[in-house]
Amino acid sequence: MAKLVLVRHGQSLWNKKNVFTGWVDVPLSTVGIEEALKAGETLADVEFDAVYTSVQVRALETAMIAMAQNKSEKTPVVIHSDGKMSEWGVIYSEEMNKNIIPVYRDWHLNERYYGELQGMNKAETAKTYGDEQVHIWRRSYDVPPPNGECLQDTAERTIPFFKENILKQLKEGKNVLVSAHGNSLRSIVMFIEELSKEEVLKLEIPTGVPLLFSYENDKLTRE
């Protein structure tokens, strides 16, 4: 039986300021760091074989801080597939190569792109456009913010990536940690639990709280 753990990054500095973040690359706040540490304590006994994160720093920070609490003797190592880091980041020790946990970063797991709302304070945006319009942009399934993504758009990139990469690892019996974002993870949970577009709108994923699933007989079940 393989395990899948999904964790939304800890509170970011723009979460703290109530600002639409989307693809803006903002780090964790001190509260977010504490949330990541707490998540790591919860997951300390799980032996992970692979870690996936978005390319955004708050997701990578959360994963690496959490993995620092892990009791495994293996070391999480970010895998670089291009540029100088891929060339010079090679591990030449066969022993150490066998004792790493690969950490893969991919933009398909990024947060929903909030378009022209990025960097805007949520309360001020509601004053400008009205509470109802902002609520529609934030919570509807198929209505995007100006020049941004709706949840449906996000699902169209996250779910194929999940099937082609993460699900493949689970089928091989590997334990996988995914550190990503509220909306990218909502879309993945929608796929796993076969939620309707109405049901997924009620789904809330809090920051820094791991969601655990067991994979057995080609089925993922929440623990």
Mean pLDDT of the 129-157 span: 95
Number of domain units in the chain: 1
Classify residue 2: in a domain, yes or no: no
- What residue has token string 């319009």? 133
What CATH number has the domain bearing residue 116? Answer: 3.40.50.1240
Catalytic residue among 9, 35, 149, 181: 9
Confidence of residue 137 (pLDDT cuts 50, 70, 90): very high
Assess if residue 84 is contained within a domain: yes
Sign of CA dihedral 51, 52, 57, 59: negative
Q: Please give the Cα distance from 193 to 149 (Å, whole number).
A: 22
CB < 8 Å & 24+ apart, contacts of 120-125: 120/19, 120/20, 121/17, 121/18, 121/19, 122/18, 122/19, 122/20, 123/18, 125/20
Residue 1 lies in a domain: no
CA distances, 207 to each of 42, 48, 86, 101, 181 (Å): 14, 21, 31, 23, 8
Residue type, 79: I
pTM equals 0.96
pLDDT value for 210: 98
In sequence order, the β-bridge partners of residue 91 are none
Task: Given the residues 35, 61, 111, 149, select the one marked as catalytic.
Answer: 111
Specify the DSSP class assigned to residue 166. Answer: I
94 catalytic? Reply is: no
Amino acid at 2: A
User: 12-69, pLDDT tens digit by residue?
Assistant: 999 999 999 999 999 999 999 999 999 999 999 999 999 999 999 999 999 999 999 9
pLDDT at residue 157 in the model: 98
Using CA atoms, how far residue 172 sits from 4, 19, 160, 166, 220, in Å, is 12, 40, 18, 10, 14
Helix (H) or strand (E) holding 87: helix 83-88
DSSP annotation of 28:
B
Position 51 in a domain = no
- Rounded-to-integer distance, Cα 37 and Cα 35, Å: 5
Q: What is the pLDDT of residue 149?
A: 97
Let me know if residue 92 belongs to a domain.
yes
CA distance 29 to 160: 31
- What pLDDT digit, counting tens, does each position of 85-110 carry? 999 999 999 999 999 999 999 999 99
Domain annotation covers residue 17 = yes
**Residue at 165 is within a domain:** yes
111 noted as active-site residue: yes
Per the structure, the complete domain to which residue 143 belongs is given by 7-46+56-222
Asked if residue 14 belongs to a domain, the reply is: yes
| Binding residue ranges for substrate | 8-15, 21-22, 58, 111-114, 122, 138-139, 182-183
Around 140, how many Cα atoms within 13 Å sit in the side-chain half-sphere?
A: 12
Question: What is the bridge-based pairing of β-strands 219-222 and 211-216?
Answer: antiparallel
Enumerate the β-bridge partners of residue 52. 104, 178
